[in-house]
A and B are shown apart, each in its own frame.
Chain A
Amino acid sequence: MALTNDAPGRAPRPDLSPVQDPEAPAEPSALRTFLRRRWTLPILSVVVFLIVWQIVGMNLNPILLATPGSVAVALGELVVNGQLGFAFLRAMGALGAGFGIAAVVGIGVGLLMGRSIVAYRVINPYVSFFQATPLIALTPLVVIWAGIGFPAEVVITFLLAVWTVIINTSEGTRNTPPILLDMASVYHAKESSVVRNVALPHAVPYIFAGLRIALGKALIGVIIGEMSISLQGLGGLIVDFGDSFQTAKLLAAIITSSIVGVVGTIIIEILRRYIAPWSQTVDRGKL
């Protein structure tokens, strides 16, 4: 029986086969029951990892690898002196602006491409081109256009995120079942109604899948933008701490940037449940 079975306290299967080994225990041991609990293994895995990290770190030069303990201390320090809080909010701001605009523009353009074959053919070459381009390379150009500062970082974030949203939205829209489109034309639905009631709802799961991927790219845009343009915020801290070999603080800043991503993902998930409760198929087993 698999250990990954996540039904807690599940009754053992009735044994219908003739008894072969009278010595075999009838009930699974307490340890096995404990291990089968849903959260046991993930937590155990993390705890073991942290312990190994701590032991290895204690035996290495702290510049090479800070221990989890010292990272926690550094995190506390940076929170107390306000550096991290400010950097966190700045990153959330750049992410919110860049990713937010990318989501709105991406969904709009994607719907247009999904519903109009002309628009698709006109726009698709650019989408393919930019999707395949390492857009970080555009950073110098963006700085020339937008100057050094927050706006340039928002532009970079937007540029990294928007293509995925466009592609997923247009694919989701183009994949609307033809029978539903036939149905809509039988009932004389206007294009606006087809988009609102048929194509867009059908594309919603695709769109949210795209948003989640785009969020990761946008966060890269935020951090790289801060690292290479303004040297402020989380990216700025990462450069500073890295350059001055403060490994514990460096890791604390990196962990904070993942928290930005986690918060973003949670916001997207809440939005999805609110906007499209029917697309909740993924967590059906959770209850």
Chain B
Amino acid sequence: MSIATATPAIQVTGVTKTFSRPVERSARSRRRGAQSATEAITTGGDVFTALQDIDLSVGKGEFVSLVGASGCGKTTLLRMMSGLIARDSGEIRIDGRLVNGVPSKVGFVFQEPALLPWRSVHDNLAFALEYKQLPPDEREAVIEDKLKLTNLLEFRNSYPHQLSGGMQQRAGLARALATDPEVLFMDEPLSALDAFTRRRLQQEIASIIEASGATCVLVTHDVDEAVFFSDRIVVMGARPGRVTELIDVPFPRPRTQVELLGNPEAAQIRDRVLELVLGLG
């Protein structure tokens, strides 16, 4: 191990998470736990280990993807890193500070757009900026800037249901960027989109992220997507959830879909990841 020269953006040390599943649960907690619960069913008993002894370090500006079969706890890990759920033991630090609740300077792109249906695109971004209490003109400038970045400026007054799935997810991204996050967490942000929209958005997101310089952690089921975005791919295994292998993706960023398509090295990396995820490695 080399001596760390700078504080890593995210440092995960010895993190373990178990879930207990009482027989009777309220509808709310059932739905709240659903994402992690479906990922982490490892035992039929009352307590099961979603994640065991996870160590992971993400450098500043690095793009890391978490991939793995269902039940490996990747979404749980992402949600713990972002402070949305608590860990049982171990340490998670963002920018050197212990995570306890959602840290400032963190952005999150959800699996669904998670827009407030009763607010326009503009007002959804304004909601995310509320806690910053910016002066109105400054706030408007930020919103306009992020909407321009995501090509949504002309839809600023549209309501979510008036937008296509891809546009909704772009609005979710614009909102995540509005707070100028240093760390951006993305939980399968493109999984609900059709293949073409997904490809196009991957390219757009890549260039937006490049410009922002944010550190990114992405959970995805799409190995091609992981290869396209990441500097490093974290392959996770299930029962209990753990990190099985770290794979470097050595191509310089930003990348284009086209240059990776015919690249034999990229194909090799993709095959290796697939083998590991499918348990063939």
Contact of B130 among A175, A179, A187 (CB under 8 A): A187
Contact of B127 among A175, A177, A197 (CB under 8 A): A197
Check if A15 is an interface residue, CB within 8 A of chain B: no
CB-defined interface of B71-110 with A at 8 Å, one 1/0 digit per residue? 0000000000010100000000000000001101011101
- Whether B114 contacts A179 by the Cβ 8 Å rule is yes
- Whether B118 contacts A193 by the Cβ 8 Å rule is no
Known A187-B131, A189-B131; judge A180-B108 contact (CB<8 A): no
- Whether B130 contacts A193 by the Cβ 8 Å rule is yes
Interface residues on B, range: 20 to 34
- Whether B104 contacts A178 by the Cβ 8 Å rule is no
Interface residues on A, range: 20 to 34
CB-defined interface of A130-148 with B at 8 Å, one 1/0 digit per residue? 0000000000000000000
| A186 / chain B contacts, CB cutoff of 8 Å | 82, 84, 102, 106-108, 128
Contact stretch, chosen from B26-34, B198-206, B208-216: B26-34
Task: Closest A residue to B131 by CB, please name it.
Answer: A188
Known A197-B127, A201-B118; judge A187-B31 contact (CB<8 A): no
Q: Which residues of B, 183-197, contact A by the 8 Å Cβ criterion?
A: none
Check if B112 is an interface residue, CB within 8 A of chain A: yes
Q: How far is the CA of A198 from the CA of B26 in the complex (A)?
A: 20
| A174 / chain B contacts, CB cutoff of 8 Å | 26-28
Check if A117 is an interface residue, CB within 8 A of chain B: yes
Check if B16 is an interface residue, CB within 8 A of chain A: no
Check if A283 is an interface residue, CB within 8 A of chain B: no
Check if B179 is an interface residue, CB within 8 A of chain A: yes
| A182 / chain B contacts, CB cutoff of 8 Å | 84, 108, 110, 114
- Whether A197 contacts B116 by the Cβ 8 Å rule is yes
Check if A185 is an interface residue, CB within 8 A of chain B: yes
- Whether A189 contacts B28 by the Cβ 8 Å rule is no
Known A117-B26, A174-B28, A175-B27; judge A185-B130 contact (CB<8 A): no
Closest chain-B Cβ to A176's Cβ sits at a distance in Å of 8
Q: Which residues of B, 104-154, contact A by the 8 Å Cβ criterion?
A: 104, 106-108, 110-112, 114, 116-119, 127-131
Q: Which residues of A, 138-196, contact B by the 8 Å Cβ criterion?
A: 174-175, 177-180, 182-183, 185-190, 193
Q: How far is the CA of A178 from the CA of B36 in the complex (A)?
A: 13
Check if B159 is an interface residue, CB within 8 A of chain A: yes
| A189 / chain B contacts, CB cutoff of 8 Å | 127, 130-131
| A276 / chain B contacts, CB cutoff of 8 Å | 118
Q: Which residues of B, 147-193, contact A by the 8 Å Cβ criterion?
A: 159, 179
Check if A278 is an interface residue, CB within 8 A of chain B: yes
- Whether A198 contacts B82 by the Cβ 8 Å rule is no
- Whether B128 contacts A187 by the Cβ 8 Å rule is yes
Interface centre among B26, B118, B159 (most CB of A within 10 A): B118
Q: How far is the CA of A185 from the CA of B102 in the complex (A)?
A: 7
| B31 / chain A contacts, CB cutoff of 8 Å | 177-178
Q: How far is the CA of A189 from the CA of B175 in the complex (A)?
A: 14
| A177 / chain B contacts, CB cutoff of 8 Å | 31, 114
Closest chain-A Cβ to B121's Cβ sits at a distance in Å of 14
Query: Using a CB–CB distance below 8 Å, which chain B residues touch chain A?
Result: 26-28, 31-32, 34, 82, 84, 101-102, 104, 106-108, 110-112, 114, 116-119, 127-131, 159, 179
Q: Give 12 CB contacts A-B under 8 Å.
A: A174-B26, A175-B28, A179-B110, A179-B112, A183-B110, A185-B84, A187-B127, A187-B129, A189-B131, A190-B131, A193-B130, A276-B118
Interchain residue pairs A-B with the least CB separation, the first 10: A188-B131, A187-B128, A183-B114, A186-B108, A201-B118, A178-B32, A179-B114, A278-B118, A178-B31, A186-B102
Excluding A180-B114, A186-B108, 10 further A-B contacts by CB distance (< 8 Å) are A175-B28, A177-B114, A179-B114, A183-B108, A186-B82, A186-B102, A186-B128, A187-B128, A187-B131, A190-B131
